[in-house]
């Protein structure tokens, strides 16, 4: 299995400098049937020359034209195989259109501007482009915008291609940074309180040093050096712990973070700044207080620890430290409860013991044979074919409208999920009205049939029902809906209860199921998937 496959044109390596080891992407990516592999994939497949042929999805023959470097972990584009754009066809996508405006699956377009060129002028031309090629109602709700490449890691407003590394909101990074600084401040305050509280133990040392001629600035430098040494030791210990815990954290977060202190100049500067700032914050005030003691009073044991300024400041620091710790403890409890709530909240369908398996073959006889073998497995209690789980990014995002109202009613986008007659049993979706797909529905939707004899039917969720103006399932059953996928029209034969089709942080979206099988899903007797999976290998 090859993950992270992208289609790119001949200018891809002119825009991005990923590094080419062999081949000519500028020429070969402009030809059909050509592909480039990364160094890691070439080693995995044992490729040593450019004469190798790969078969993609059992139907697309590709000649390996060259080898390129692996993309760095911080690149938003993640690929192992680059296929020439002319190789992409409607047949490869199972009959889905490549030029249908009703679908939003075209991918990304990257534009390189000349130096000192204002992108704003291009923004205005993009607006005119939409007004020219979209219908009036579409142009009013759809628009094109340019996104700086430097912003692509931190802006969740724009969708990413499948296989792209996820982005994160910049505000969340600031929150994490502020949280780290607050914890560091608490540690500094704790050090200040301990240092000033232990002043009595150092008072005679200070008195002797001053009697022998030590100046105040020398004592301040001495205490700051002591603070700096302790900070350096703490940083060394923390770096060792970070290096030790980083593999576990990468596995937990599914990231590829590394701690390369010897070659990362930015990290070196950060650690140095951290040592200097922490040393000053934690050591400056104790150094000033301790160096200010009078030697005569100290040596006569007349040192008073009840100076209003020092004690008052320590009280303020203790109260502040206690307040911050309480806030952190309460926040941790609240976040933990929220995580448990999200982890345990029902999604509206069965999620236990379900395995998703990509099936390369789409021929009806092979799919039927594979289904027969799966159902013969005693560990499998249900199986189906479909494009993605109910909660999955695998869907065809397109427009939809009631056929009787015409295209003027297309004001919404829907996640269209092609599934088969057993998809509901596999996931336990709740059908609240109408019926589910039958094997006859699957046969009528077979793309090998003449187009005039193909019949499609739809099953919608409650959100889709309400968006079409119906208040009850009876008002929508039997009506016809047209989607943007080849303008396919189908009768609504059923309504399922709403389920979470995306993150629990997002509202439930309109979803339409259609009778058109793609991928395999199977449900096992237990959470131990290995016996069932091993039994289905040929």
- Report the alpha-carbon distance of residue 384 to residue 421 in Å, rounded: 7
Residue 537, helix vs strand vs coil:
coil
Q: What strands, in cross-sheet order, belong to the sheet with 60-68?
A: 5-8, 81-84, 34-38, 60-68, 53-56
Q: At a CB cut-off of 8 Å and minimum separation 6, what does 198 contact?
A: none
- Report the alpha-carbon distance of residue 153 to residue 334 in Å, rounded: 28
pLDDT of residue 29: 92
Write b or e for each residue in 153-175: b if 16 or more Cβ atoms lie within 10 A of its Cβ, otherwise e.
Answer: eeeeeeebbeebbebeeeeeeee
Residue 219 clears pLDDT 70, i.e. is over it: yes
- 236-268 per-position pLDDT tens digit: 998 899 889 888 888 877 777 778 888 888 888
**What's the token pair of residue 527?**
């959470």
Q: At a CB cut-off of 8 Å and minimum separation 6, what does 173 contact?
A: 154
Sign of CA dihedral 466, 472, 475, 478: positive
- Report the alpha-carbon distance of residue 350 to residue 329 in Å, rounded: 35
Q: How many angstroms separate the Cα of 395 from the Cα of each of 274, 387, 388, 511?
A: 47, 6, 7, 9
| Burial of residue 511 (number of CB atoms within 10 Å: 0-12, 13-18, 19+) | buried
Q: What is the DSSP letter of 414?
A: E
Strands 511-515 and 412-419, by their bridges, are parallel
pLDDT of residue 431: 93
CA dihedral 99, 361, 379, 392 (to 10 degrees): -10
- The better pLDDT of the pair 452, 460 is held by 460
pLDDT of residue 162: 47
What's the pLDDT band for 50 if we cut at 50, 70, 90?
A: low
Residue 370, helix vs strand vs coil:
helix
Q: At a CB cut-off of 8 Å and minimum separation 6, what does 22 contact?
A: 50, 66, 67
- The better pLDDT of the pair 451, 507 is held by 507
Sign of CA dihedral 406, 408, 414, 416: positive
pLDDT of residue 83: 92
DSSP string, 250-304: HHHHT------TTT-HHHHHHHHHHHHHHHHHHHHHHHHHHHT--HHHHHTT---
The mean pLDDT of the chain is 79
Share of the chain above pLDDT 90, in %: 15
Q: What is the DSSP letter of 20?
A: B
- 391-444 per-position pLDDT tens digit: 877 777 788 888 887 766 455 788 888 888 888 988 889 999 999 998 888 888
- 10-23 per-position pLDDT tens digit: 999 999 988 898 88
Q: How many angstroms separate the Cα of 18 from the Cα of each of 39, 110, 112, 166, 477?
A: 11, 15, 16, 19, 53
Q: Are 67 and 36 in contact (CB under 8 A)?
A: yes
371 phi, psi to nearest 5 deg: -65, -40
Q: What region, left, alpha or beta, does residue 100 occupy, with left being phi > 0 and alpha being psi -120 to 50 degrees?
A: beta
Q: Are 510 and 475 in contact (CB under 8 A)?
A: no
Q: At a CB cut-off of 8 Å and minimum separation 6, what does 461 contact?
A: 495, 496, 497, 498, 499, 501, 508, 510, 511, 512
- 465-497 per-position pLDDT tens digit: 998 889 999 999 999 998 877 778 899 999 999
Q: pTM of the predicted model, to two decimals? A: 0.62
Residue 126, helix vs strand vs coil:
helix
Q: Are 450 and 484 in contact (CB under 8 A)?
A: no
- 68-119 per-position pLDDT tens digit: 999 987 788 889 999 999 988 877 776 666 766 555 555 788 888 888 777 7
Strand partners, 10: none
Return the domain boundaries, the chain. Answer: 1-100, 170-341, 354-535
Tokens 């919404």 sit on residue: 412
**What's the token pair of residue 1?**
């299995």
Counting every residue written for the chain, the total comes to 538
């Amino acid at each position: 299995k090859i993950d992270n496959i992208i289609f790119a044109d001949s200018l891809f390596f002119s825009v991005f400098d990923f590094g080419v080891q062999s081949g000519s992407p500028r020429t070969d990516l402009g030809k059909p049937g050509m592909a480039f592999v990364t160094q890691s994939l070439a080693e995995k497949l044992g490729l040593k020359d450019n004469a190798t042929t790969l078969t993609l999805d059992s139907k697309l023959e590709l000649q390996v034209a060259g080898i390129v470097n692996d993309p760095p972990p911080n690149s938003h584009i993640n690929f192992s195989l680059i296929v020439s754009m002319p190789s992409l066809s409607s047949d490869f996508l199972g009959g889905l259109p490549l030029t249908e405006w009703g679908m939003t699956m075209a991918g990304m377009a990257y534009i390189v501007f000349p130096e000192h060129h204002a992108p704003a002028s291009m923004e205005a031309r993009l607006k005119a482009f939409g007004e020219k090629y979209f219908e009036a109602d579409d142009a009013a709700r759809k628009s094109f915008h340019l996104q700086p490449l430097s912003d692509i890691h931190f802006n969740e407003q724009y969708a990413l291609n499948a296989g792209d590394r996820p982005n994160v909101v910049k505000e969340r990074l600031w929150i994490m940074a502020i949280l780290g600084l607050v914890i560091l401040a608490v540690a500094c305050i704790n050090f200040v309180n301990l240092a000033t509280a232990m002043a009595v133990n150092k008072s005679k040392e200070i008195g002797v040093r001053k009697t022998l001629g030590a100046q105040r600035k020398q004592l301040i430098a001495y205490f700051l050096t002591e603070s700096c040494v302790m900070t350096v030791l703490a940083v060394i210990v923390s770096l060792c712990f970070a290096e030790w815990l980083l593999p576990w954290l990468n596995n937990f977060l599914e990231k590829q973070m590394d701690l390369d202190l010897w070659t990362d100049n930015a990290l070196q500067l950060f650690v140095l700044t951290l040592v200097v700032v922490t040393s000053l914050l934690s050591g400056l005030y104790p150094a000033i207080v301790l160096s200010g003691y009078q030697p005569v009073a100290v040596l006569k044991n007349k040192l008073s620890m009840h100076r209003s300024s020092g004690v008052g400041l320590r009280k303020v620091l203790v109260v502040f430290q206690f307040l911050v710790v309480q806030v952190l403890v309460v926040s941790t409890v609240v976040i933990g409860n929220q995580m448990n709530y999200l982890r345990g909240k029902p999604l509206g369908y069965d999620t236990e013991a379900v395995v998703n398996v990509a099936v390369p073959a789409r021929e009806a006889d092979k799919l039927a044979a594979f289904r027969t073998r799966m159902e013969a497995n005693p560990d499998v209690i249900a199986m189906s074919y479909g494009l993605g789980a109910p909660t999955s990014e695998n869907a065809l995002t397109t427009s939809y409208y009631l056929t009787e109202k015409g295209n003027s009613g297309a004001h919404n986008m829907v996640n269209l999920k092609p599934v088969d007659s057993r998809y509901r049993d596999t996931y336990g979706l709740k059908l609240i009205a109408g019926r589910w797909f039958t094997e006859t529905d699957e046969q009528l939707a077979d793309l090998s049939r003449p187009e005039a004899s193909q019949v499609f039917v739809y099953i919608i969720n409650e959100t889709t029902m309400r968006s079409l103006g119906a208040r009850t399932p009876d008002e929508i059953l039997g009506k016809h809906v047209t989607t943007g996928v080849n303008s396919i029209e189908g009768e609504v034969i059923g309504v399922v209860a709403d389920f979470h089709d995306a993150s629990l942080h997002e509202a439930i979206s309109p979803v339409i199921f259609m009778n058109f099988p793609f991928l395999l899903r199977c449900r096992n007797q237990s959470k131990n998937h290995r016996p069932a999976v091993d039994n289905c290998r040929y």
